[in-house]
Structure 1
Amino acid sequence: MSSSHSGNNMARVVIFAVVLAIFAGYLLLWIMTPTNTFRKTWLTDLRTRTSSTYFGTTQGATYLVFTFPILFIATLGCVYLHLGKKTSENHTKGSSTGESKLGVWRRPVMVKGLGIVSRIELAFFLMFIALLLWNFATYLTLSFRTITPFSAAKSREKVWEAKLDSTALRLGLTGNIALSFLFFPVTRGSSVLPMFGLTSEASVKYHIWLGHIVMTLFTAHGLCYIIFWAATDELSEMLKWENTGVSNVAGELSLLAGLFLWATTLPRIRRKIFELFFYTHHLYILFVFFFVLHVGISYTSIMLPGFFLFMIDRYLRFLQSRRGVRLVSARILPCETVELNFSKSIGLSYTPTSIMFLNLPTISKLQWHPFTVTSSSSLESDKLSVMIKGEGKWSKKLYQILSSGSPPIDRLDVSVEGPYGPASTNFLRHDLLVMVSGGSGITPFISIIRELIHKSQTMKLKTPEILLITAFKNSADLTMLELILPISGAPSRFSNLGIQVEAYVTREKQPTIQETKGVRTVWFKPNPSDAPITPILGQKNWLCLGAIIASSFIIYLILIGILTRFYIYPIDHNSNKIFSSSSRTVLHIFFICIGIITASTAAFLWNKTRNSKETTQIQNMEVATPMASPNSLFYNADRELESLPQQSLSQSINVHYGERPDLKRFLLERKESSVGVLVSGPKKLRHEVAKICSSGLVANLHFESISFSW
């Protein structure tokens, strides 16, 4: 077994080295793109060598140097992650050899406009900005050299007008670089992000940064052209849709869709009017579609990898969401919080801090909301749980439906996407885990604690001590601590874990025992049409995803090659007509969709057939609905013998009223050699913990922010 793991690790090292080499070459292309060396020497020679009747004179070169490398990296990433599933993912102290060297670079820093970022993130962000500035400056320098009073007069323009025209074009070209990376962070089932230790949830902030950069550059690009056309009395150019080349109308429609989308991403609008943000964000479809029509498919192929991988992920999510899932029960807390417990297949595994997207047609047929998974796939092999705090219209409506009891609800239709989470976790490398949460921010820590319960009791591994510091507004919110233990399946010897909970109630001076029901459980009747949550691509999901990426792109290339050779090429070369750029673009989009739908549907149906036997077995094992409710830590519920884990947990909880935690004291006085500091909750709390950990007063704190609101 050890030799097998050693072989897998060696293969992963080789794959990662190849990926880094290819990605370095890809970045080198972006650095060289604005130079004369690339445009007049490299690209000319490459187009000569790749010119064919199947992909035209320019398309083949773009596929080779911009599209293929990233899709190849994504495919290699699938193999890398599949091999990682076979190796031990339990990192103990000292297992990360480069941890101490990277410790300084992983420390958080506060940057206005960016929030909490590590020094590594800040360094890469500054390098990316430098890449954009380099491209824009080089483009302008080379183009301005060719603009003289004579050349401007020849075009019936003034020198400043010619320079404005050139600047407008170069702003668009620079914006395309940011657009090439825009969709990678929001590809939830990506194989690229986890290969570099990232998740789509944590990477959403990169998507936000890139989105602001893209829209700033594209807006400036459009405004400069409007000013140029107005100065040269050519405003009629705004209404032109050329048969070949760039279409101005398509570009304007794309920009308008982007501006509407951009306006609703302002934090105040996004948080207070989430529905407006959610629905308006779907304008990305029009933004991308008209952008492709604007620049043509040949140039779009430079940005194609990000679009392509996102489309595959989006279609797979669509397939998963078409089937209702089996909702087993709901735990209802008096603080307007519910825990939904779903049936899942034993083969579905996920890591702590994963999230899952839910859709409840009873509330809204279109809205999807992300929630943190509180269960552990190791501890609860056949159940998956999420916690939902009633903080918005959607979540409050759900709480009302479940808690009203009049009429009593016995079934709830639910569709899911996910779960999505990190490829692996390394919590075991620390001596102590300090978890700091505010309100519903405790949710991701519940999944970590449940996972550590499994590792300490079942796997007999040495786990770090846990210090949970959590702040709530009201004493009713204390019942969230009930969810630390699952509804069933917790080991009786829970006290071996080593956990201490310091709970703070900030808005109450003393305990106020409300005359309300404690934690109540609602059990739902099974429905034959519902199924347990299963991995959409089966046990070998990464290999299956790699096959989808490769086969869908090959299908697209074959179809477009046949179309170009036997339909477009004869029109362009054997008649006076030129095939319309817009028609060519629409056909390419159509064949991309065919390739993705064909490969993804085939993989989905094949895995669905394989999962059907396990689904049938789970449904046959359904037992009568239990009527007892779990015991309570904070209400006077009758305790039974199996409530020993709850008793052990209650002895580890200290409740403080009318005060806030002294985070500096809790963090700076820790003497352990390695302290993992995890924070989740309001922005102000996360920033406070980040400042303490970045102060440099102690070197044993390893900071990690878990944020789902960005």
Structure 2
Amino acid sequence: MIIIPKTFFHTSTSIFHISNPNKFHSSQKYIFEEFKEEKLYIYIYIYMDPQRRPTPSHGSNNTVRAAIMAVVMVVFAGYIFLWTMVPTNPYRQTWLPELRLKTASTYFGTNQGANYLVFPFPVLFIAVFGSVYLHLGKKSSDNHTKGAKGENRLGIWKRPVIMKGLGIVSRVELAFFLMFIALLVWSFATYLRISFANITPKSAAKSGEKVWEAKLESAALRLGLVGNIALSFLFFPVTRGSSVLPLFGLTSEGSVKYHIWLGHMVMALFTAHGLSYIIYWAVTHEISEMLKWETTGVSNVAGELSLVAGVILWATTFRRIRRKMFELFFYTHHLYILFVFFFVLHVGISYTTIMLPGFFLFMIDRYLRFLQSRRGVRLMSARVLPCQTLELNFSKTKGLSYTPTSIMFINIPSISKMQWHPFTITSSSGLESDKLSVIIKGEGSWSNKLYHLLSSASSLDRLDVSIEGPYGPSSTDFLRHDLLVMVSGGSGITPFISIIRELIHTSDTMNRKIPEILLISSFKNSNDLTILDLVLPIFGAPSKLSNLGLQIEAYVTREKQPTTHEKKTIRTIWFKPNPSDAPITPILGQNNWLWLGAIISSSFIIYLILIGVVTRYYIYPIDHNTNKIYSSVSRSLLHILFICIGIVIAATGAFLWNKNENGRESMQIQNMEGATPMASPNSLYYNAERELESLPQESLSQCINVHYGERPDLKRFLFERKESSVGVLVCGPKKMRHEVANICSSGLAANLHFESISFSW
């Protein structure tokens, strides 16, 4: 209620700023300010709803999102149903011919129009509408908190299961994995049943073959068809900026395991496909078929080149090779370009449209990542720990927001121009609005070189760094729990630091209860305990952590008692600003999801227009000339070219538009940093030997209990908790993850909700 007399307009006024109205009790009305100035009286009544009721716009957003999700799920169900029908006679003999008849045109040809409608369109429809759904979700008041209702009903399906060869999976993941295997088996069995029915001794004799030889050729072909089903889904999990994954509650990092599973399936089926044909040609004395590259139809040589590239790539993906020779794995994995390129030339563009949508979305994401990585970012400082660990602090714009457990890919040209490595972001975009931090543990050759570079440098004033990301979940649901138990081993603590910092921000700004936190960390040596000093940021941490309910149980497993060596401090290195470097900005701006949807739709439309014009006025006249047929290889190359042109035009336009918008904010940040003493070019080592004696660090030290010469009793920690909902997160070595998963899946405690965070795939 506000009462303002007419004299208000003729008197001096005062402006009052509410710094933190959430400190008031939220269920009552208060007179926040009352003052008298001449004949001016102002009474301001504030009502704070403890449940933070959504505004009408939020309610409208949620309604629209529900409608979009309903439509998307219908389309997705139809897409899956389509895959089950593709091998059957009704689809091949009735549905597809009729669809081709209705979509035949001189712009796309007899078959291509139907192929676009059946396979790419549903996926691109889901991707575009998913972008709108996620954009509306960013404005929703409950985007980062989900209710616990329904969790209990689905709890049994989310319990972890340890499967040999698959690792830790939930029952939901296991169910979908088995259903996908069932789809492959169903497709292969249906293909064989229909094709073998037409192979008889009489039909085989006409072609000069034995029955088993004819069946071998048929089985070889069908293995390739089934392999293409797995290939169609292969690139979805590694499309980092995808709108499809977060639409179904997935992240690119958490979905890498699906990519691994699908990759093994693809290569196993395609290898069996190739070997079966080689055996068939050998027994029928037609081995010369391996050297044929037909002008129209299937090209055998292109298929063999694709298979060779795929097998070399596949051989380096097995865990032992990948972990011990990462660089070999990293570089050979780029053979996917040759694998896909020769695959297109092998089967032709008409059949390629089956796997096109997943790869099309991957290409858009890959090009956007390329654009983002071209510009160096502003590295503000580095904290060097005595335990082979670094914290890198980057400048960022306030418009860049991300959720806890997000990751960012980093490239440092002075170490390797080609290698990109993912690291967990430990900062909170709310608590540290102008800074982004990552922690890097020296556990490989690349990270050890970086640590040596910074720890031994005496005159290093800047470091060139490029980034891709951040990437992370579109929302988190940590607030639905009464308690969060975080179990980490070594550098596995890094994603939990981001969660703790986010909860610090939430407790300080939002008027709602947050869960208590129990962090159980295991370290090999006492030097590693210094990682705990990074739980709080350099700036922005509250002086008291009592409201957070944080308890840290740290275990040093290889030392029986505290070492008596002199305490080693954390050294902070401040880098000089460089005009060529810029703060990290969202590549597509604040409305990144809408821009992504626009890029997906416009790039595909550009591709359709270009290929339609060329087909109508160039390819079509040649194909209808009785003396000449346009080469399928040339046709495929034109499609590849126009797909790339469409992506480059749409993505570059969106990137440049948002680059100009981000440039103004970046310039303001750079000007402010230039005037800040701590970022002054003259202060190379600012507070270099900083003793952690600030009030926040003192509060943090009171929350830490250190245990030497033992390992944590995880069963005791988990089973003794009686809260109604306990979120259990684990990140660390495989043995630790499996131990926690077994405890949570035992069924002895119904209040435990498990989630594994693994970056060691």
Q: Same fold (TM over 0.5)?
A: yes
Q: Does 1:245 align with 2:297?
A: yes
The aligned residue for residue 590 of structure 1 is: 641
Question: Equivalents in 2 of 1:123, 1:435: separation in Å?
Answer: 27
Task: Report the Cα offset of residue 83 of structure 1.
Answer: 0.4
Question: Equivalents in 2 of 1:630, 1:455: separation in Å?
Answer: 31
Q: Does 1:519 align with 2:548?
A: no
TM (norm. structure 2) is 0.91
Q: Does 1:225 align with 2:277?
A: yes
Task: Report the Cα offset of residue 496 of structure 1.
Answer: 1.5
Task: Give the partner amino acid of 1:470.
Answer: S
Task: Report the Cα offset of residue 391 of structure 1.
Answer: 0.3
Question: Equivalents in 1 of 2:403, 2:689: separation in Å?
Answer: 27
Task: Report the Cα offset of residue 218 of structure 1.
Answer: 0.4
Task: Give the partner amino acid of 1:412.
Answer: L
| Aligned with residue 652 of structure 2, among 589, 598, 601 | 601
The aligned residue for residue 615 of structure 2 is: 564
Q: Contact 1:525–1:625 at 8 Å: present in 2 too?
A: no
* Amino-acid identity (%): 77
Question: Equivalents in 2 of 1:167, 1:19: separation in Å?
Answer: 35
Q: Contact 1:487–1:630 at 8 Å: present in 2 too?
A: no
The aligned residue for residue 325 of structure 1 is: 377
Structure 1 stretches of 4+ with a deviation exceeding 2 A read 89-92, 458-461, 513-517, 624-632
Q: Contact 1:90–1:428 at 8 Å: present in 2 too?
A: no
| Aligned with residue 45 of structure 1, among 85, 98, 111 | 98
Q: Contact 2:120–2:357 at 8 Å: present in 1 too?
A: yes
Q: After the TM superposition, which residues 220-369 of structure 1 pair with which residues of structure 2 at under 5 Å, given as runs?
A: 220-369=272-421
The aligned residue for residue 202 of structure 1 is: 254
Task: Give the partner amino acid of 1:146.
Answer: N
| Aligned with residue 227 of structure 2, among 172, 175, 189 | 175
Q: Does 1:6 align with 2:63?
A: no
Deviation sequence 1:275-294 (CA, Å, 0-9, x none): 00000000000000000111
Q: Contact 1:89–1:424 at 8 Å: present in 2 too?
A: no
| Aligned with residue 97 of structure 1, among 140, 149, 162 | 149
Q: Does 1:661 align with 2:712?
A: yes
Deviation sequence 1:646-666 (CA, Å, 0-9, x none): 001101100001100000111
Q: Contact 1:89–1:426 at 8 Å: present in 2 too?
A: no
Question: Equivalents in 2 of 1:97, 1:45: separation in Å?
Answer: 47
Q: Does 1:625 align with 2:687?
A: no
Task: Give the partner amino acid of 1:265.
Answer: T
TM (norm. structure 1) is 0.98
Task: Give the partner amino acid of 1:58.
Answer: N
Q: Contact 2:227–2:269 at 8 Å: present in 1 too?
A: yes
Name the SS for the 2:238 alignment partner.
coil
Task: Report the Cα offset of residue 452 of structure 1.
Answer: 0.2
Task: Give the partner amino acid of 2:74.
Answer: A
Q: Does 1:60 align with 2:60?
A: no
Q: Does 1:123 align with 2:194?
A: no
Question: Equivalents in 2 of 1:267, 1:379: separation in Å?
Answer: 38
The aligned residue for residue 239 of structure 2 is: 187
Q: Contact 2:574–2:686 at 8 Å: present in 1 too?
A: no
Q: Does 1:410 align with 2:461?
A: yes
The aligned residue for residue 495 of structure 1 is: 546
Q: After the TM superposition, which residues 348-427 of structure 1 pair with which residues of structure 2 at under 5 Å, given as runs?
A: 348-406=400-458, 408-427=459-478
Task: Report the Cα offset of residue 340 of structure 1.
Answer: 0.2
Q: After the TM superposition, which residues 151-170 of structure 1 pair with which residues of structure 2 at under 5 Å, given as runs?
A: 151-170=203-222
Give the total of aligned pairs: 701
Name the SS for the 1:589 alignment partner.
helix
Stretch moving more, 227-236 or 575-584: 575-584
The aligned residue for residue 689 of structure 1 is: 740
Question: Equivalents in 2 of 1:400, 1:630: separation in Å?
Answer: 17
| Aligned with residue 214 of structure 1, among 257, 266, 274 | 266
| Aligned with residue 462 of structure 1, among 484, 490, 513 | 513
The aligned residue for residue 602 of structure 2 is: 551
Structure 1 residue ranges without an equivalent (≥5) = none
Q: Does 1:485 align with 2:536?
A: yes
Task: Give the partner amino acid of 2:81.
Answer: L
Q: Contact 1:431–1:464 at 8 Å: present in 2 too?
A: yes
Q: Contact 2:571–2:689 at 8 Å: present in 1 too?
A: no
Deviation sequence 1:1-40 (CA, Å, 0-9, x none): 6211111111111111101100111111110101110000
Task: Report the Cα offset of residue 263 of structure 1.
Answer: 0.5
Name the SS for the 1:564 alignment partner.
helix
Name the CA shift for 1:351/1:224 in 2 (closer, same or farther; >3 Å).
Answer: same
Question: Equivalents in 2 of 1:310, 1:136: separation in Å?
Answer: 27
Deviation sequence 1:613-671 (CA, Å, 0-9, x none): 10110000011236554887xxxx373xxx11100110110000110000011111110
Question: Equivalents in 1 of 2:565, 2:477: separation in Å?
Answer: 40
Name the SS for the 1:522 alignment partner.
strand
Question: Equivalents in 2 of 1:692, 1:41: separation in Å?
Answer: 53
The aligned residue for residue 45 of structure 2 is: none
Name the SS for the 1:621 alignment partner.
helix
Question: Equivalents in 2 of 1:638, 1:323: separation in Å?
Answer: 35
Name the SS for the 2:223 alignment partner.
helix
Name the SS for the 1:512 alignment partner.
coil
Stretch moving more, 329-338 or 266-275: 266-275
Question: Equivalents in 1 of 2:508, 2:659: separation in Å?
Answer: 34
Q: Contact 2:220–2:276 at 8 Å: present in 1 too?
A: yes
Q: Does 1:647 align with 2:691?
A: no
Question: Equivalents in 2 of 1:146, 1:15: separation in Å?
Answer: 45
Deviation sequence 1:414-452 (CA, Å, 0-9, x none): 000000000000100000000000000000000000000
Task: Give the partner amino acid of 2:222.
Answer: R
Task: Give the partner amino acid of 2:256.
Answer: V
| Aligned with residue 124 of structure 2, among 71, 74, 79 | 71
Deviation sequence 1:35-86 (CA, Å, 0-9, x none): 1100000000000000110000100001001111100100000000000000
Question: Equivalents in 2 of 1:351, 1:363: separation in Å?
Answer: 29
Task: Report the Cα offset of residue 268 of structure 1.
Answer: 1.1
Task: Report the Cα offset of residue 511 of structure 1.
Answer: 1.0
Q: Does 1:18 align with 2:71?
A: yes
Structure 2 residue ranges without an equivalent (≥5) = 1-53, 680-684
Q: Contact 1:35–1:138 at 8 Å: present in 2 too?
A: yes
The aligned residue for residue 538 of structure 1 is: 589
| Aligned with residue 86 of structure 1, among 139, 144, 150 | 139
Stretch moving more, 516-525 or 5-14: 516-525
Deviation sequence 1:213-257 (CA, Å, 0-9, x none): 000000000010000000000000000000000000000000110
Q: Does 1:676 align with 2:730?
A: no
Task: Give the partner amino acid of 1:607.
Answer: N
Q: Does 1:475 align with 2:526?
A: yes
Question: Equivalents in 1 of 2:715, 2:143: separation in Å?
Answer: 30
